[in-house]
């Protein structure tokens, strides 16, 4: 990190810490980037909407008992012809309120996104560190596996993993674990990026004096990797993680759109778009339009934040 | 203009006698044929494709009337009431050139009576088939069977020599996942020949120039390109953009859009098909529920609760956009045995359903898995989703598993589902067909689509007796008695009768067949 580290004040640590953060280079860069600020606001709005969905949403679309089929296909803002009920963003084919469904669907998209990136990050960073530090055969094997995986499009790898996992799961558990399988599938298709970057950074760090000093005083390889090298290779990881988050959300939406992701009774944004796509010709545009806009806003702002973070952390661009 | 083009094309075709396409018809529907083996799966789209390539002895034309195909005349034998005599068409050859005669008919019937065949229920009353002459064929039944010919309209004849040469004497074991030569290749006598086939992708057929009915039928379609398109929006987009000429299942939400398009028509007719849910009423415990040690469906009150928890009116209005007719019995109105009283739709009453559940000891509900196809019936998955919501209101947590029909149907055949959606069309237009497949307990000859594990030996013998009851009023009263049991026991939850919507280029001339089977030899263009 390039931020200026102040010694923790014994008397008022909190205030000092906040002040230090506010004065850090990163915060300065943030305050001077309108794109980053707008993206940040959008992300915060969407994420808090998703987190607070049970409080904010007019009803719980995942509870089938609360649905009234007669409310199906209500246009935004106009009362339903049979029931007279009105919905802000309309309803889908099953009478689910589109606004509530988007909020709840976003929870699944975000959960899958975050968890998949975390999984990919843990695997990728670990393998990257080992490859970069150990070198030799270990490195060759890990990096060739990574290269092979890179030659397949990530979505294909994810579909393959999804298919295999589904095949091994007893039918009665499929729905419950569909989300976890999605996380596994996207996470496993995603580790290569992390591994390559971390390996490169580790190669550089391993030659530095502090690592040699640690080796000389006899610290174990594992300890050196975790305690000494890892903190120094984390900033590129952070950048990749942010960009991967946007990609993972899109990957989840793509898988669900193709019908292999989240089950229709627990729709994520991708499932909603898949459902809505069937009603494009017949004029019920809102079922597709609003979830698609939400997905666009979410993925775009996370991506813009990632871009900004990459520039802010890159000393050459300053 | 079109006619002129056609004439020129036809002239060219005769002049060069090439199989090149004069008027190709690109045909799409939601799902593909499951197999080309004509006896392995008794399923609508499967026999629809087979009808272009192969022929039965007698068939239904586009209006539903029984007309000659490979048999020219038929009738009960004058000497023995237990025998049906068929006079076979002479001078017919299979696509590979082999001649058709009574040996092939005997072979095909015997093949269709083996345990792996999905047509054995239709031939359950048959004791033996024999060939007294080269073009004479006889069916000997267990007592007189007055409706035998209507059982044969989808029973295709294949060449004995071809089957023996290609190791296809045995019927493909579809549920067991077997793959055979006959599942991928076909050699029939039909109006179209198979050119190429990639399952679930594309099947190409070309006109059979040697067809016996050339001149008798329009046969203006010279090439058929069949592409299954599962996604409803993609399917209708393909029709709107002119990528296909004819789709058999226009999504209900897009009917007005297709009808309003220049050069496209929607033609509508009630279909001979009813959609319903089946429940495992027979097992002691269910694998897919959360109730230990007993089977909730074994309690008739639970079945009755399910029956009145389903809001058929809402499904018709919202999911089907009025393109269906709510049903009270698992029998289409075309069928002998149907009456409005049986088909009376039960009133939707969530409170009464809840009370029944409480009475049965399931006041807190239970959870169960529902298996649904997603490429077979109109809006099948959406209907199931709607049912999930309606059943949730009486406390039942339903986990929905929607699968393509190729994976869904084996679950019913192999008894691996406890709660499932099925649709049933009745090619014989008689209740016996429904009883044989769906009500008779499962054994070697009967009940192959009865996934309910329901069995009642008294009822079974009544069903078996139908085949040889010649006194029609008596037979009809037996049918009524059996329906009474089916209704009282509530082993199925009927949903609705489907309405057919065929979308096509306006210049295509055809009527909409109530069995949803397009027989392209009857199609013409103007």
Reduce the secondary structure of B341-400 to three states and give it as a string: CCCCCCCCCHHHHHHHHHHCCCCCCCEEEEEEECCCCCCHHHHHHHHHHHHHCCCCEEEE
Could you say which of A65, A82, A281 has the minimum Cβ distance to residue B257? A281
What 3-state DSSP class applies to B281?
coil
Q: Which of B228, B93, B227, B59 is nearest to B161 (CA)?
A: B93
- At residue B142, what are phi and psi to the nearest 5 degrees? -75, 80
> How far apart (Å, rounded) are the C-alpha atoms in residues B130 and B24?
40
> Residue B525: enclosing H or E segment and its boundaries?
strand B524-525
Is residue B17 pLDDT above 50, yes or no?
no
Residue B357 token pair: 């559940």
Question: How many percent of chain A have pLDDT more than 90?
Answer: 44
- At residue B354, what are phi and psi to the nearest 5 degrees? -60, -40
Residue A311 token pair: 């520039």
Residue B459 token pair: 């009822």
Binary contact (A94, B385; C-beta < 8 A): yes
Average pLDDT over residues A39-50: 94
Is residue A13 pLDDT above 90, yes or no?
no
Could you say which of A263, A264, A280 has the minimum Cβ distance to residue B233? A280
On chain B, the residues whose CB falls within 8 A of the CB of A65 are 389, 392-393, 395
**Residue A317 pLDDT grade (very low, low, confident, very high; cuts 50, 70, 90):** low
* Least confident piece of the model among A190-199, A266-275, B66-75, B184-193: A266-275
- Residue A155: predicted pLDDT: 82
- Residue A3: predicted pLDDT: 52
Could you say which of A69, A277, A279 has the minimum Cβ distance to residue B315? A69
Handedness of CA B27, B31, B33, B35 (dihedral sign): positive
Residues 6+ apart with CB under 8 A from B45: B29, B31, B32, B33, B34
Which residues on chain B place their C-beta less than 8 Å from a C-beta of chain A?
Answer: 231-233, 236-237, 240, 251, 253-254, 256-257, 287-288, 311, 314-315, 317-319, 369, 381-382, 385-386, 388-393, 395, 398-402
Average pLDDT over residues A203-217: 91
Residue position matching structure tokens 């674990």:
A177
Could you say which of A68, A175, A280 has the minimum Cβ distance to residue B399? A175
Side-chain-facing half-sphere of A30: CA atoms under 13 Å:
15
- Residue B10: predicted pLDDT: 47
Binary contact (A265, B399; C-beta < 8 A): yes
- Contact status of A82 with chain B (Cβ, < 8 Å): yes
**Residue A17 pLDDT grade (very low, low, confident, very high; cuts 50, 70, 90):** confident
Q: Which of B6, B130, B108, B63 is nearest to B507 (CA)?
A: B6
- Residue B21: predicted pLDDT: 41
* Least confident piece of the model among A212-216, A247-251, B1-5: B1-5
Which residues lie across from B425 on neighbouring strands? B273
Binary contact (B389, A279; C-beta < 8 A): no
Is residue B2 pLDDT above 60, yes or no?
no
Considering chain A, what is the average pLDDT of its residues?
87
* Least confident piece of the model among A192-201, A231-240, B47-56, B133-142: A231-240
Handedness of CA A255, A260, A261, A264 (dihedral sign): positive
Residue B163 token pair: 């089957």
More confident residue, A178 or B490: B490
Is residue B9 pLDDT above 50, yes or no?
no
Is residue B1 pLDDT above 50, yes or no?
no
Could you say which of A67, A172, A284 has the minimum Cβ distance to residue B288? A172
Average pLDDT over residues A30-48: 93
> How far apart (Å, rounded) are the C-alpha atoms in residues B116 and B411?
16
Residue to substitute from B30, B230, B233, interface A, most A β-carbons within 10 A: B233
**Residue A31 pLDDT grade (very low, low, confident, very high; cuts 50, 70, 90):** confident
pLDDT tens profile B323-346: 999 999 999 998 999 999 999 999
Contact B279, B59 (CB under 8 A): no
More confident residue, A235 or B325: B325
On chain B, the residues whose CB falls within 8 A of the CB of A174 are 401
> Residue B202: enclosing H or E segment and its boundaries?
strand B202-207
More confident residue, B325 or A25: B325
> How far apart (Å, rounded) are the C-alpha atoms in residues A183 and A191?
12
Is residue A5 pLDDT above 60, yes or no?
no
Instruction: For residue B181, give how far its alpha carbon lies from the nearest alpha carbon of chain A (Å).
Output: 27
Contact B116, B106 (CB under 8 A): no
* Count of CB atoms situated within 10 Å of the CB of B66: 16
> How far apart (Å, rounded) are the C-alpha atoms in residues A118 and A131?
20
pLDDT tens profile B270-302: 999 999 999 999 999 998 899 988 999 999 999
Instruction: For residue B388, give how far its alpha carbon lies from the nearest alpha carbon of chain A (Å).
Output: 7
Residue position matching structure tokens 């789209």:
B45
> How far apart (Å, rounded) are the C-alpha atoms in residues B313 and B324?
10
Side-chain-facing half-sphere of B305: CA atoms under 13 Å:
28
DSSP secondary structure letter of residue B28: E
- What pTM, to 2 d.p., does this model score? 0.83
- Residue A11: predicted pLDDT: 63
**Residue A171 pLDDT grade (very low, low, confident, very high; cuts 50, 70, 90):** low
DSSP secondary structure string for all residues of B305-351? HHHHHS-HHHIIIIISTT-EEE-SSSS-TTSBT--TTTTPPPPP-HH
Residue B115 token pair: 């345990």
More confident residue, B493 or A18: B493
> How far apart (Å, rounded) are the C-alpha atoms in residues B274 and B425?
7
Could you say which of A174, A278, A284 has the minimum Cβ distance to residue B401? A174
Q: Which of B250, B434, B467, B406 is nearest to B336 (CA)?
A: B434
On chain A, the residues whose CB falls within 8 A of the CB of B420 are none
**Residue A163 pLDDT grade (very low, low, confident, very high; cuts 50, 70, 90):** confident
Binary contact (B399, A172; C-beta < 8 A): yes
Q: Which of B308, B296, B288, B300 is nearest to B354 (CA)?
A: B308
**Residue A316 pLDDT grade (very low, low, confident, very high; cuts 50, 70, 90):** low
């Amino acid at each position: 990190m390039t931020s200026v580290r102040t010694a923790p004040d014994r008397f008022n640590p909190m205030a000092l810490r906040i002040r230090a953060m506010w004065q850090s280079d990163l915060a300065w860069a943030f305050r001077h980037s309108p794109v980053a600020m707008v993206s940040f606001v959008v992300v915060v709005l969407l994420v808090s909407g998703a987190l607070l969905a049970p409080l904010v949403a007019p009803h719980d679309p995942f509870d089938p008992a609360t649905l009234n089929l007669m409310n199906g296909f209500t246009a935004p803002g106009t009362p339903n012809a049979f029931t007279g009920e009105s919905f802000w963003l309309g309803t889908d084919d099953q009478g689910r309120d589109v606004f509530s469904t988007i909020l709840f669907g976003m929870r699944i998209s975000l959960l899958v996104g975050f968890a998949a990136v975390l999984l990919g990050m843990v695997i990728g960073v670990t393998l990257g560190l080992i490859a970069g530090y150990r070198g030799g055969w270990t490195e060759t094997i890990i990096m060739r596996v990574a290269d092979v995986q890179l030659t397949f499009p990530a979505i294909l790898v994810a579909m393959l993993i999804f298919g295999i996992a589904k095949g091994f799961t007893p039918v009665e558990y499929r729905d419950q674990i569909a989300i976890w399988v999605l996380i596994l599938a996207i996470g496993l298709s995603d580790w290569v990026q992390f591994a390559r970057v971390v390996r490169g950074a580790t190669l550089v760090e391993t030659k530095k004096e502090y690592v040699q000093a640690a080796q000389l005083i006899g610290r174990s390889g594992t300890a050196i990797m975790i305690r000494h090298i890892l903190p120094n290779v984390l900033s590129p990881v952070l950048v990749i993680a942010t960009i991967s988050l946007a990609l993972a959300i899109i990957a989840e939406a793509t898988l669900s759109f193709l019908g292999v992701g989240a089950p229709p009774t627990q729709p994520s944004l991708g499932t909603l778009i898949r459902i809505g796509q069937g009603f494009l010709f017949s004029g019920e545009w809102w079922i597709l339009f609003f979830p698609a806009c939400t997905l666009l806003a979410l993925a775009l702002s996370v991506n813009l934040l990632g871009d900004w973070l990459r520039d802010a952390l890159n000393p050459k661009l300053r | 203009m079109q006619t002129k083009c056609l004439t020129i094309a036809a002239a060219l075709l005769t002049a060069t006698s090439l199989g090149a396409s004069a008027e190709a018809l690109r045909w799409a529907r939601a799902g593909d044929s499951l197999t080309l083996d004509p006896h392995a799966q008794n399923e609508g789209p499967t026999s629809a494709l087979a009808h272009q390539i192969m022929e039965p002895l007698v068939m239904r034309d586009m209006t539903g009337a029984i007309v000659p195909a490979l048999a020219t005349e038929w009738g009960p034998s004058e000497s023995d009431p237990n025998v049906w005599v068929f006079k076979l068409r002479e001078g017919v050859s299979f696509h590979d050139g082999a001649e058709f005669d009574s040996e092939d008919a005997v072979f095909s019937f015997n093949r269709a009576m083996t345990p792996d065949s999905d047509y054995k229920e239709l031939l359950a009353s048959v004791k033996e088939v024999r060939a007294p002459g080269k073009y004479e064929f006889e069916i000997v039944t267990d007592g007189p069977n007055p409706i035998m010919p209507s059982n044969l309209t989808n029973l295709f004849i294949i060449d004995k020599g071809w089957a023996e040469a290609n190791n296809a004497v045995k019927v493909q074991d579809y549920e067991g996942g077997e793959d055979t030569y006959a599942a991928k290749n076909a050699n029939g006598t039909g109006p179209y020949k198979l050119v190429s086939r990639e399952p679930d992708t594309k099947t190409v057929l070309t006109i059979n120039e040697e067809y016996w009915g050339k001149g008798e039928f329009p046969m203006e379609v010279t090439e058929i390109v069949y592409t299954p398109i599962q996604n409803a929006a993609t399917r209708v987009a393909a029709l709107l953009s002119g990528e296909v000429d004819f789709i058999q299942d226009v999504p209900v939400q897009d009917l007005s859009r297709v009808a309003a398009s220049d050069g496209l028509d929607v033609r509508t007719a009630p279909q001979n098909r009813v959609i319903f849910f089946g429940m495992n009423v027979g097992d002691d415990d269910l694998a897919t529920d959360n109730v230990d040690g007993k089977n909730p469906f074994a309690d008739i009150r639970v079945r009755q609760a399910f029956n009145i928890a389903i809001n058929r009116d809402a499904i018709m209005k919202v999911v089907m956009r009025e393109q269906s007719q709510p049903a009270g019995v698992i029998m289409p109105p075309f069928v002998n045995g149907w009456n409005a009283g049986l088909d009376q739709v039960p009133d939707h009453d969530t409170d009464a359903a809840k009370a029944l559940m409480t009475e049965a000891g399931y006041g807190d509900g239970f959870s169960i898995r529902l298996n649904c196809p997603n490429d077979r019936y109109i809006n099948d998955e959406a209907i199931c989703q709607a049912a999930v919501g309606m059943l949730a209101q009486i406390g039942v947590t339903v986990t929905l598993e929607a699968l393509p029909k190729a994976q869904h149907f084996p679950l019913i055949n192999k008894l691996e589902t406890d709660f499932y959606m099925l649709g049933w069309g009745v090619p014989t237009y008689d209740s016996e067909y429904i009883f044989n497949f769906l009500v008779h307990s499962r054994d070697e000859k009967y009940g192959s689509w009865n996934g309910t594990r329901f069995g009642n030996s008294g009822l079974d013998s009544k069903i078996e007796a139908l085949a040889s009851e010649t006194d029609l009023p008596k037979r009809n009263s037996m049918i009524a008695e059996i329906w009474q049991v089916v209704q009282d026991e509530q082993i199925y939850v009927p949903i609705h009768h489907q309405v057919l919507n065929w979308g096509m280029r306006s210049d295509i001339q055809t009527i909409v067949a109530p069995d949803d089977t397009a027989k392209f030899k009857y199609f013409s263009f103007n």
